[in-house]
Each structure stands twice: as structure tokens, then as C-alpha cells.
Amino acid sequence: MSGHSQFKNIMHRKGRQDAMRSKMFSKLAREITVAAKLGVPDPAMNARLRLAVQNARAQSMPKDNIERAIKKAAGNDGENYEEVRYEGYGPAGVAVIVEALTDNRNRTASNVRAAFTKAGGALGETGSVGFMFNRVGEIVYKPEAGDADKVMEAAIEAGADDVQSDEDGHVITCAFENVGEVSKALEAALGEAESVKVVWKPSTTTPIDEEKAESVLRLISTLEEDDDVQNVYANFEVSDEVMAKLAAE
């Protein structure tokens, strides 16, 4: 199974999301501010901002925080963040893509490079691993949205490309340029999604054992703890048994 999505579930069960709530809100606010600056500060007229606000609400970010992040962009207050993507190889040759919003490229690059080096990996040039991923829209619903058949039917009607359902919920994918349109149609049929994002989905995966999985998860965790890093994607694949063991530790 896809390692990185399972890693997210493990971290959730271990309660790390609660411990990192403040950091998560900070990253959500940064995305809202950047989205508002790149377009108009109105979610109804700015697709990226609408998705950023929707994701913030799904994580129970207070309304005041959301409005403050938008006003910060409208008033041209605060730092000017730049979107940067890093690519490299982690332990066992696992391909990793890191997306960041930073006001200091040198600081972020140094931190990301250090994380790769410490994990026994190496930071590469832009494009060095990107060819192993596809850029797609990813819309996530909790199990309460309905059974697999109901969600599949809604996804087909909305123009999505694929649906994966399990006990943790439903993950719907679509062409990245259609994510706004598809998410709106799904919202009308299923209610508000847990998250709506444009992600890097592996087109090829690298099988790894338990020891390497621990090393890769440690690298991802280190990267995600960096304030400048917004998202991390990796193409490793591990067995259900290994993931279950890691979750129990």
C-alpha cells in the first residue's frame, strides 16, 4: 500500500496531530495568506484561497485566525513568501518531493538539505524525481460521508478519475486542473470534504522493509516539523504487516 498515506494515519493515531496543532495552524494560515496575495482576497473569486480556507476549516482552525490571515494579505502586511519545491532521494533510494513556502530560500534549503543528509539521503536538482510522480487533485472524505458505493457514484458524477475507500475514509483523485470544479460537485453531493489539495501522487513505488521504513518515516517527520515546509510526498511502499507494527510502537 502507499506508504505516505499510511504514515499520516499512524501519526494521527499516535496523537501527534494534536501536539502539532499550533504548527499546523501556522502553516494553514501561511497558505491562506499566500493564496490571497496571489489572487483576490475573496474565497468566492479565488479558487486557491477557497481551497485553503476549506482545508483550514476542516482542521477546526478558528474563524478569527482564517480572517486574520486573509486580512494580512489584503493589507500587504508581514513577510512575502515564495513557493519552492525540493526533490531528492531518501533512504533506500525512496523519491521525495518537498513543497515549502519561505521568506528565506537559503534557510529553507539548508534545513531541507540537512534533513536529507542526516537520513542518509541526498537532495537533488528540481526534476530529479518529479518524473516519478503525477500532479493530481486529491479530495478526502471521512467515513461518515457514506459507503463506498455512494461515494463512488458521487465521484463519477463529479468527473473524478479514481476513488479509494477503506476504514479511514475515502480518497478521491482527479486531474489537478479540475480540482475546484470536482470538489464543488462533491460538496453538493456529500457535504464539505475533510481536505481538498493538489498533490504529487507516485506513479512508481519503491518497496522497502521495516528498517528502511522507520528511516524514511523519520525523514518525513523531520521535514514536516520544519516551519517552512508545507507538504512532503514520497514513493515508498511497505506491507500492511510492517505498517501495523510501526503503528503499534
What's the pLDDT band for 13 if we cut at 50, 70, 90?
A: very low
Q: What is the DSSP letter of 104?
A: -
Give tens-digit pLDDT for 193-213: 988 999 999 999 999 998 999
Q: What's the pLDDT at 12? A: 46
What's the grid cell of residue 193?
A: 470534504
> Is the pLDDT assigned to residue 2 strictly greater than 50?
no
What's the grid cell of residue 169?
A: 475514509
How far is Cα 249 from Cα 233, in angstroms, rounded to an integer? 23
Please say whether the structural domain 3-74 has been given the CATH code 1.10.10.200.
Answer: yes
> Is the pLDDT assigned to residue 17 strictly greater than 60?
no
- Can 82-129+204-248 and 132-202 be said to share one CATH topology? yes
The matching CATH number, chosen from 3.50.50.60, 3.40.50.10420, 1.10.10.10, 3.30.70.980, for 132-202 is 3.30.70.980
> Is the pLDDT assigned to residue 105 strictly greater than 70?
yes
How far is Cα 173 from Cα 181, in angstroms, rounded to an integer? 12
Residue 141 β-bridge partners: 170
Give the homologous superfamily in CATH for domain 82-129+204-248: YebC, transcriptional regulation domain (3.30.70.980)
SS3 17: helix
* Residue extents of the structural domains in the chain: 3-74, 82-129+204-248, 132-202
If one compares 7 and 171, the residue with the highest pLDDT of the two is 171
